[in-house]
Amino acid sequence: MQLPHDTTIVVTDGQKLRLFRNSGTELHMALTELPQPDVHGDEAGAGRHQHTGQDNKDQRRLQDRRLDKDHQEASFESAVAKWLNHEIATGKIGPLFVIAPPRALGELRPHYGEALKEKLVGELEAEPDWKWREACLGWAKHTRNQLREAEKQSAKDSAVKRIMRARAAGN
């Protein structure tokens, strides 16, 4: 995949957000990390489930922690989408590419505004390893290598077609 010049790449996982911009060309990406925006979801949910019963108390605590984490991640992704919608509406972000795990994308998509949907050039479902710049650069290098291989194959195919046409014309 190729990303146009000045595309903003959003990398999120429900807890963290990192932004990059393609300052290079479509064929030769050069990612620049952007300042991290101040985006926060609802972090107050951590203590909202309290049970006093003795039966399965530990089980309920584990379930409550999972529910709290799910709530916080959903709230964070909602806040990310709200921030992105605002940045696009004010013209601070042009073309947009989103990298996130499937669950985070599922939380983001319902909050996409019409302007964001128009600016969205693609999404990549990926589990983060939090070496974002390296991962993005590796992805860009892999994409460039795929493009080069496709160009080589196309050149080979063209050469074979020319030979076949020459042979057919000679007979």
Q: Are 29 and 22 in contact (CB under 8 A)?
A: yes
Higher pLDDT, 31 or 143: 31
**Tens digit of each residue's pLDDT (9 = 90 or more) over 49-70:** 444 455 555 555 555 555 566 7
Sign of the CA dihedral running 115, 117, 123, 127:
positive
Please report whether residue 3 resides in a domain: no
**Tens digit of each residue's pLDDT (9 = 90 or more) over 119-140:** 999 998 887 665 555 555 555 5
Higher pLDDT, 127 or 25: 25
Number of domains in the chain: 1
Please report whether residue 2 resides in a domain: no
Residue 26 is given by DSSP the state: S
Predicted TM-score of the model (pTM) = 0.64
> Residue 44: pLDDT above 50?
no
Tell me the C-alpha distance between 127 and 121, whole Å.
20
Sequence-distant (≥ 6) Cβ neighbours of residue 97 within 8 angstroms: 3, 7, 8, 9, 10, 120, 121, 122, 123, 124
Please report whether residue 133 resides in a domain: yes
Please report whether residue 54 resides in a domain: yes
Sequence-distant (≥ 6) Cβ neighbours of residue 42 within 8 angstroms: 71, 72, 75
Domain hosting residue 103, numbered range: 8-170
Please report whether residue 1 resides in a domain: no
